[in-house]
Amino acid sequence: MWPAAIGSALGRGGLRLGAGTRGRAVAADLFAPAARAAASTRAHGPAGEASTSGGSGPSRAYPTEPRVGVGVVVFRRPPVQGSPDAEVLLIRRGKEPDRGKWCFPGGSLELGETMETCAEREVMEETGLRLAGTTARGGAGSGPSSGAGGGGGLSLHDLRSGPMPFAAVDVMRREPDGRIRYHYAVIEVAALAADPDAPLVPGDDADGAQWVRVGSMRGMADLTVRCDEMAEEAVARFGRQAR
């Protein structure tokens, strides 16, 4: 969960930075002047802000170098391309910043942790939900991300095998004086719930969790900015074709 300006997206055949169209390759002007960046839009909220949010984790504020994060777009059931009925998992932030806002689960990548293992851990900590494919693979780092940059395309089978990276976004927030308060490179990962009917148990820095139809996300007043576009992008990439 990150305060963010979405700066790039993963193309169908590989990583494509800073280019694209709405819903296919979401882009924003990230490296704006300090005053404009201070009011940058949000797609997620940062993890572990002990010094500013009252949490118990280490502070991520005012870093000396960028950090890596993982955001997780979890589908309740296999999506269908073009259908607004796909449901994705959202959590409500229980701490500042963006307290009370709904966004995707996610957090900081830990040393020695794969993107898939991070996705599994963060979703479990914040919602109590297990992801499809993660138990079988055991987070060994040899999962479907190895094919993310290939030319063979992405399929629903990948999500049944485990979480799959599909976009890279730049996340930066500056103070009015130009100091960088947060700087993350965030990998957006798509995943499928292992049990679509499992109860959601909010935890960590989330005080709520719910399944939301992708078609209902646009216009949500309490949704962090552009979560709807990222969800639509994931449906387009991983949804099966309608029969």
CATH number, residue 85: 3.90.79.10
The rounded mean pLDDT for the chain is 74
Per the structure, the count of domains in the chain is 1
The CA-based diameter of the chain, rounded to the nearest angstrom, is 55
Residue 3: inside a domain: no
The kind and range of the H/E element at 170 are strand 164-174
Residue 163: inside a domain: yes
Residue 1: inside a domain: no
Residue 31: inside a domain: yes
By residue range, what is the domain housing residue 194? 9-238
CB 115 within 8 A of CB 70: yes
Specify the pairing of strand 180-192 against strand 67-75: parallel
DSSP letter, residue 8? -
Q: State how far Cα 220 lies from the chain centre.
A: 17
User: Does residue 199 surpass a pLDDT of 50?
Assistant: yes
Mean pLDDT of 125-142: 73
DSSP letter, residue 177? T
Determine the 3-state secondary structure of 162 from DSSP: coil
The per-residue pLDDT for 95 is: 78
- Predicted TM-score (pTM) of the model is 0.71
Bridge partners of residue 85, in order along the sequence: none
pLDDT in tens, 139-195: 444 444 434 433 344 455 579 899 999 998 887 889 999 999 888 898 999 999 999
Residue 139: inside a domain: yes
Residue 53: inside a domain: yes
Residue 4: inside a domain: no
Mean pLDDT of 57-62: 67
Residue 17: inside a domain: yes
